[in-house]
Amino acid sequence: MKLRPLSWSMRFALALSAVFAIGTLSAGGLSYLFLSREMTQRLEADVQSSAESLARIAATGDRTDLREQIIAQVRSSRDGASLFAFVDAPSMQTLGSLQLAAPFEGPRRLLVGQDIPESELTGTESAEAYRAFGIRTDIGWIIVARDEAWVAESGEILIQTTAWSLILATLLSIGLALFIARKNERRVDRMDRVLDAVGAGHLDQRIKDDGGDDLADIAARVDQMLDRLEAGVESIRQVSTDVAHDLRAPLARLRMRLEPQALSVEVPMETRHEIGSALMDIDAISGTFDAILRLARLQSGTVERRNDPVDLGGMATTVWEILQAPAEEAGHALDLVIPSTRIQVYGDEDMLSQALTNLVVNAVEHCQPPAVIRITVGMRGEQPFLAVIDDGPGIPEADRARVLERFVRLDASRSVPGTGLGLSLVAAIADLHDAKLVLEDNAPGLKASILFAQATTSPAVLTKA
Amino acid sequence: MGEDHILKREVTRDGEKIDLQPREFLLLKHFMERPGRVQTRTVLLESVWGLHFDPKTSVVETHISRLRNKIDKPFDKHYLVTLHGVGYVLQP
């Protein structure tokens, strides 16, 4: 996967997880608040009703019954969760499990160690405070207190539950979000790759995303556009092929009618020369048409390609020998560098010679003399290559993909004669050999290589006997 | 035109020995086997260089001019003639 700034889907995923976490956290916080308030209220109501029921016994004036009730209640609450006290009115003597400095009426919160001496308590370690309610009756005060520990405990349980569910849910949501984001990222990556490939001229590439969402919709529309683009380019190609095909016959007839005139001794010398120039123009036109048709046949795969073992070094030597004279004539030096080992690929020697010739002729024509042009053969890793290297003007990187298209000629080379088909032809021949035409910067100059894929052409590297 | 010793790859004109490069020799041989007949560029490319495609460069022109410099230029009568726009012919 390509390294890029955090993708929109990843950001979306993380934001969603964050919102989810904040939501869970606030829900937990609110329930904690509500719960502890509700529990405290119930605690208060509890001690009040408990005190009131003892007060009803006190109202009968039966001190013995009250005493027995309180002793029974104290006994049933050994753990100290509930405390009871009866403070006799005239004597101010306290009966029960709660010792107070002074009796009181109504609700009150009693702190352990401050309002209640710690030594009084029997066994409750966790209690820090008690909720108490006091009632004044005719015979004395009745006070009931209950510790707050279970309110705090319930709160703690709630906090723990919330925390665990928050951690689990956050992990789950981040995991799910990352999964979805990665999936989307892969889809966006695929779109990226397809568009790159189309930009480089592979018009048959499609995204083919069947995700069934808005991204898939966009992908489908891009695919449709590519269909139309490919059809458009194909129809232009077809038209130029048709034109070339249809005009070849009349051109040939024209040539046949003019040629005898160019050769006839009865025609004045000057006219014959003019007709000769016309014939050369006709030949140039036919040459372009032939190249268009040849390219069309190569690209459509209808041309028969031989599959013989081709010795790249030997073939390069032949091409070098043939092109040396014209290169010298143009003021250039044409070198040949081949390895001592034999490098062999399977292919069509004629086609490969033409491809190499085109590359050399390109260099001859586009370089200002005197340039040094070198034909080389070698291995790049496992891949055999044929290359033409020059020290001329080169091709700007931005134009390298474009020059492989048919009829494309860069402004810098408008003055040089040519059809704009040479490199397209080389690329098509390379294609037929499962090879790639690679244009690179030679700083200065151009390095044009035909790089064979070892896997499919299975070149045999043999040591020369 | 003098005689041509194909086996020894020797060329003489008016008794003078002429040094030719291998392709120049093949080119001259091709013409001498077809005296007076016009040879087009395409035919020469196939026969002398074994090329089945047009290299779009002055292979033929260059060699014709080099050959002409050796076999015609030093002499009065010129045999190897360019027919503008058509091809070349070695006049008998």
pLDDT for A268: 92
* Per-residue model confidence as pLDDT tens digits over A452-462: 986 444 444 44
**What is the spatial distance between Cα A210 and Cα A147, in angstroms, rounded to a whole number?**
64
Residue B21 · residue A322 · CB < 8 Å: no
pLDDT for A458: 45
**Does A192 have pLDDT greater than 80?**
yes
Q: How many angstroms separate the CA of residue A379 from the nearest CA in chain B?
A: 26
Q: How many angstroms separate the CA of residue B14 from the nearest CA in chain A?
A: 28
Residue B36 · residue B51 · CB < 8 Å: no
pLDDT for A119: 63
Q: What is the mean pLDDT of residues B21-46?
A: 92
Q: Which residue in B49, B54, B63 is closest to A287 by CB distance?
A: B54
Residue A131 · residue A47 · CB < 8 Å: yes
**CB pair distance less than 8 Å for A422 and B63:** no
**Does A123 have pLDDT greater than 80?**
no
Q: What is the mean pLDDT of residues A299-314?
A: 85
pLDDT for B1: 47
**CB pair distance less than 8 Å for A287 and B56:** yes
**Does A414 have pLDDT greater than 80?**
no
In a mutational test of the A interface, the residue from B37, B38, B47, B53 whose CB has the highest number of chain A CBs within 10 Å is B53
At A5, the pLDDT band (50, 70, 90 cuts) reads low
pLDDT for B64: 94
pLDDT for A150: 76
Indicate the average pLDDT of chain A: 85
Chain-centroid distance of CA A231 in Å reads 29
Residue B83 touches partner A, C-beta closer than 8 Å:
yes
Residues of B in contact with A322 (CB under 8 A): 23, 49, 51, 55, 59
At A112, the pLDDT band (50, 70, 90 cuts) reads confident
Residues of A in contact with B85 (CB under 8 A): 262, 275-280, 283
**pTM for the complete prediction?**
0.61
Residue A420 · residue A406 · CB < 8 Å: yes
DSSP letter, residue A212: -
ipTM field: 0.85
Q: What is the mean pLDDT of residues B62-91?
A: 90
**What is the spatial distance between Cα B92 and Cα B87, in angstroms, rounded to a whole number?**
16
Q: Which distant-in-sequence residues (6+ apart) come within 8 Å of A279 by Cβ?
A: A255, A258, A259, A262, B84, B85, B86
pLDDT for A455: 41
Q: At residue A347, what is the residue type?
A: G
**Does A417 have pLDDT greater than 80?**
no
**What is the spatial distance between Cα A333 and Cα A137, in angstroms, rounded to a whole number?**
126
- Alpha-carbon distance values, A223 to A40, A205, A210, A229, A440 (Å): 66, 9, 12, 10, 31
Residues of A in contact with B55 (CB under 8 A): 322-323, 354, 357-358, 361
Instruction: Report the length, in residues, of chain A.
Output: 465
**CB pair distance less than 8 Å for A322 and B59:** yes
Q: What is the mean pLDDT of residues B40-67?
A: 90
**pLDDT-above-70 percentage for chain A:** 92
Give contacts of B 7-46 with A, CB under 8 A: 23, 38
